[in-house]
Amino acid sequence: MIPVVDLRQGDAVDTLRTANPHGGYLPHAWHPDRHQPGPQPGDDAVPAHDVVFVGSAFQERVAWLSAIDWTGIDLGLYGSWESLGARHPLRRFVRGNQTDNLRTAALYRRAKIGLNLYRTSMGWGKGAPTIAHAESLNPRAYELAACGAFHLSSYRQEVAEVFGDLVPTFTTPFEASALMRSWLADPDGRARVAAQLPACVAESSWRTRATTVIGDLQTFLQRRAA
């Protein structure tokens, strides 16, 4: 049984409910022991980049990042980027592989701007099929916000629903480049926005999600018993 939580029509939930009518939508979340705002012990052990992205080198991300002129911007790429060739223009920005949650959170807090790039490919390689439609926030969105990290994001419907205008969105590398340079020049504006982000996801920790699941299970069992 999957608990019914904030059901979103038109996505995988509809398919799941054909097999189980109790299926529903449970959003992602952040870890209260790992994602905290403000300087934390050990944060100064990681670099402080202008822009940071932690993720995997899906083809669309490589193409997207390659389309931006990074002159004068200290970009830090972390995660799985082994597929980049030694001479690839992005190789010089790869600073670490397989970064754990604590280090990732520190990178978010130390960076001037975090990037949230939603993948559109279903698998690896140039021939991988693409995702036709998606609305939900990914874990990265919750984690950046919980860390109080100012960030920019590729567009998803839930970005505006959860953050309003606190997370500027883009649809092209050109738009993202303009946003990055504009916000890099506005430290006071970044700080003002960053201070408001944790409140947007205050009720979205995994502890809260677990409470929701337990409550839904209890309701389901009570109804079945009745």
3-state secondary structure 160-192: HHHHCCCCCEECCHHHHHHHHHHHHCCHHHHHH
Query: What pLDDT band is residue 1 in, cutting at 50, 70 and 90?
Result: very low
Tokens of 54: 């932690």
CATH code at position 113: 3.40.50.2000
Co-location of 119 and 81 in the same domain: yes
Co-location of 86 and 120 in the same domain: yes
208 part of a folded domain = no
Domain span at 4: 1-27+213-226
Co-location of 139 and 217 in the same domain: no
pTM above 0.85, yes or no: yes
Q: Comparing 52-61, 126-135, 156-165, which segment has the lowest mean pLDDT?
A: 126-135
Co-location of 59 and 19 in the same domain: no
Q: Comparing 79-83, 126-130, 191-195, 205-209, which segment has the lowest mean pLDDT?
A: 126-130
pLDDT of 23 reads: 75
Contacts 24+ apart (CB under 8 A), 67-71: 67/173, 67/174, 68/173, 68/176, 68/177, 68/180, 69/177
Co-location of 2 and 81 in the same domain: no
Q: Residues 66, 91, 56, CA angle at the centre, nearest 5°?
A: 75
Co-location of 51 and 122 in the same domain: yes
Co-location of 2 and 38 in the same domain: no
Mean pLDDT score, 195-214: 94
Query: What pLDDT band is residue 26 in, cutting at 50, 70 and 90?
Result: confident
Co-location of 14 and 80 in the same domain: no
Co-location of 3 and 68 in the same domain: no
Report the number of distinct structural domains present in the chain: 2
Q: Kindly tell me if the per-residue pLDDT of 54 is higher than 70.
A: yes
Q: Kindly tell me if the per-residue pLDDT of 7 is higher than 70.
A: no
pLDDT of 10 reads: 46
137 part of a folded domain = yes
